[in-house]
Amino acid sequence: SSLDPCHWSPERAVEMGFDLVVCSLGGPLCSIRAEWSWTGMRLKQAIEQAAFVPTDEQRLLVGVEELRDHEELQERLRREQERPEISLVRRRRIKLRAGASAGEWFALYVYEYGQRPGDATALTQFAGNRGSALPYTAARRAVLEFSDTSVPLADLPSAEEPPPPAAAPEASPVL
């Protein structure tokens, strides 16, 4: 039988979408009318509109596993759940000060991607995408120095603290 638009059925509910509760560490953040075919990125865009959390600061979790931007909700959520939930962990973007060392850029790369850059080009492109002109030779030294996992990475500023102010130039003594 064909689906009557006024008649509810599980098949019709799947076509119409579903309510998805988005929770943060403080509790429910918002409810989104989602579709099973949505990707993680499409869901992030909807969350940005509903809760004003930028997409690049969102990390979405289904249980303990991250929902990747390219994955569809139907791959990760169970349809039989009455009100599916997804957890949002906000990761504010860390901004490095002008003139940050290659070691700081290396540490930020590891923080952002969860792995070490494969080569100096990847590190210089990463810094360049964030408005810095990291010299290739400095990136190459950092990649070589930090390829040994026993060497600790540089400290990064927290996302909440502003970068330290630039030092004022020293005045010349007047004679």
Q: Could you tell me which CATH class the domain 10-90 is placed in?
A: alpha beta
pTM score, two decimals? 0.58
pLDDT at position 148 is 80
* Residue whose structure tokens are 């939930």: 85
Look at strands 65-66 and 27-34 and give their pairing: unpaired
For the stretch 37-69, pLDDT in tens is 999 999 999 999 999 999 989 999 999 999 999
* Residue whose structure tokens are 């990761």: 91
CA distance 120 to 143: 6
Structural domain boundaries in the chain: 10-90, 94-156
